[in-house]
Amino acid sequence: MHIELQSVDKIFMFVNICYVTSLEKIDLIDDVKNIILKYRVKLKLKGFYKVKVFVNELVGLFIELCKIDELEYSNTLDLRILVFYDEDVYFETDDYFVLDGCGEIRFYNNKFYCNVRDVSILRMVEFGNFIFGDEVLKMLSNSVVV
């Protein structure tokens, strides 16, 4: 598991697939709720959050928490969880040779990108970052295939 505080109102979490009980939507929502509640105090979560969950069957869950409102929720936590099964997740790295064996490698902003579905990503996780959602769309529209 990896937690990254991107800003005051935005938190990114990565959960390895071994911690997920099932990929069924209802089970997935329960797993995400339990994970967020487990770290609620450490992350000082209170308010209303929009939670986007990007599912990758090979790697795990990519969770993005965006705070929507805090004023009406003084000491409570309310979550609106959205699950995305068909979104692409890309691996970003500075080193081209880390992506050896990847089907299609893209180059954008001095970084190399590979779709997570194209390669066994677990051996190279420590050499880069994952991108998903709007960042993938921006990268795809501006990148060049190497």
11 shares a domain with 71: yes
Residues 76 and 94 both lie in one domain = no
33 and 75 housed in the same domain: yes
pLDDT (tens digit, 9 = 90+) per residue, 41-75?
A: 999 899 999 999 999 888 889 999 999 988 777 78
Domain that holds residue 73: 2-84
Distances in Å between the Cα of 22 and the Cα atoms of 60, 80, 108 are 11, 20, 35
* Residues 8 and 52 placed together within one structural domain of the fold: yes
Measured CA to CA, the distance from residue 87 to residue 98 in angstroms comes to 23
Structural domains of the chain, count? 2
pTM of the model: 0.84
Chain centroid to CA 7: how far? 15
State residue 48's pLDDT score. Answer: 94
Together in a domain, 68 and 102 = no
- DSSP-assigned beta bridge partners for residue 115: 90
Would you give the distance in Å from CA 89 to the centre of its chain? Answer: 8
In terms of domains, do 60 and 18 share one? yes
Query: Do both 135 and 114 map to the same domain?
Result: yes
One domain for residues 117 and 64: no
**pLDDT score for 101:** 79
What was the pLDDT predicted at 30? 94
Q: What is the pLDDT along the chain (146 residues), one digit of tens a residue?
A: 889 898 889 999 999 888 888 999 999 999 999 999 999 999 989 999 999 999 988 888 999 999 998 877 778 899 999 999 988 889 999 999 988 878 899 999 999 999 987 767 767 778 888 898 889 999 999 999 99
